[in-house]
Structure 1
C-alpha cells in the first residue's frame, strides 16, 4: 500500500475497479493531489464551474470521471509507445548516426522534448535520402502501426512495378544527385553546385518520399505526446 500514499491514483490501475469501489477516503485523497487541482483549475478557466462543483461534492461523479481519464490516459500512452517505436524503426533502418535507445526516446516523448530535438531533424533528413529498396522495407514495418504507411507502400509498389531498367530509385536529395561545375570568372575558378536532372520515375519517387517526410512528423506530433 505504500504506493497508494505516494499517489492514490495508483489504485485506479487495479483490474476490475469500478465506481462502487471508491471509498470516501480515496475520493478525498484524489481531490488533494496536484493533478486534480490542475484539472479543476483548467475547468474553471473554461467556465465549467458546475463540473468542478460536482467533482468536489459528488463522489460517484468523481469516480466515473477518474476512471474515464485513466482509460484516456492509457490510450494516449499506448499511441505514444507505438509512435516512438515507429521512430526508432526509422532511425534503425536509415542508419541514422548516434541512434538513441528506445528508452531514451520514450523519456524524451513523455517529457515533451522529442518533437523539438535534433533526433527528428536527423530522421527526416535521412528519410529524404533513402533509396526505394530501403523505403519498401520501412513502409512494410511501419504499416503494422501506421495505416497511411500502407497507402504509400501501394503507391511505391505501383511505381516500382512499372520501372524501366534495374537498380534502385533515388530522390533528388540523394548525394549522388549533386553536381559540381567549375567556371572561370575574372581569372579565378568558381565552383558551383547543382543537381542532376531527374527521370520521371525519380521525380515520382521523390514526391512519394516528400509525402512521407511531411506526414511522419505530423503523426508523431499528434499521437506521441501525452496531454498535460
Structure 2
C-alpha cells in the first residue's frame, strides 16, 4: 500500500490566519504545491482563490497531482445558490474535486429539506462535470446520533437520485479542521466518528480529515476503511516522522 495515494495534502489558511503577508502566503502555497508534485500525493487541497495559479504550476510540471478546493468554507451556512456559484467558478478555474461544507447548522435546526436540496444540487453539479464531491459534515459540531443521521441523509439522497456508477465519486468527509471546540475537545476526525460514518455512508466513500498528524493515525483510519485523508502533515505522515507544524 502506498499511503501517498490516500493523502489530500491540505493548506487552507488565509494570510491573516497564518500571520503572514499575502506575498508570504502565496509562497507557502507555491511550496506546498511543489511538495505535492515532488511527493506525488494524490491531491493538493487549497482555497478557491489559489486554484488558477496552482493549476499553472501543476501543468508546467506535467504533474498528475489533482487540485481540490473547499466550497462554503468553513462554516457551511452559505445559501445553496452561493455554494453552487462558488463551485461553478472553481470548476471553471480547474478544480478536480470539490469539498462542500454541508449546512450542518440548518440540519441541527431540523431544516432537512434544505439540506437534502443542497446535497442534490451540489452532487448533480459535480457529477455533471465529472468531478468528485465530498460533503463535510463537521463531526465536532454534531453528537453521535446526528453524525449517523446526517451521513445517512447524504447517502440516501445520492442513492435515490444517482446511479451506482456515481457512488465512488461521492464522499462523506468528517471535518474542516477549522471548527472551534470548547474544553480542548478534538475538532476533527476521531475513531468513533469515523466508524459511525463508515457504517452509515456505504456505498459512498469516507474521507477523514482534521487532526491527523502521524503515520500511525493515518494507517489506523485507512485500516478502518477510509479512502482519503485530508491533512496538512502529508509529507510528515508519508515519511513517518513527527509533524512539527501547528495546523
- Normalising by the residue count of structure 1, what TM-score does the alignment of the two structures yield? 0.23
Per chain length, whose mean CA-contact separation is higher, i.e. which structure has more relative contact order (CA < 8 Å, sep 6+)? 1
The structure in which a higher percent of residues are helix is 1
Structure index of larger Rg: 1
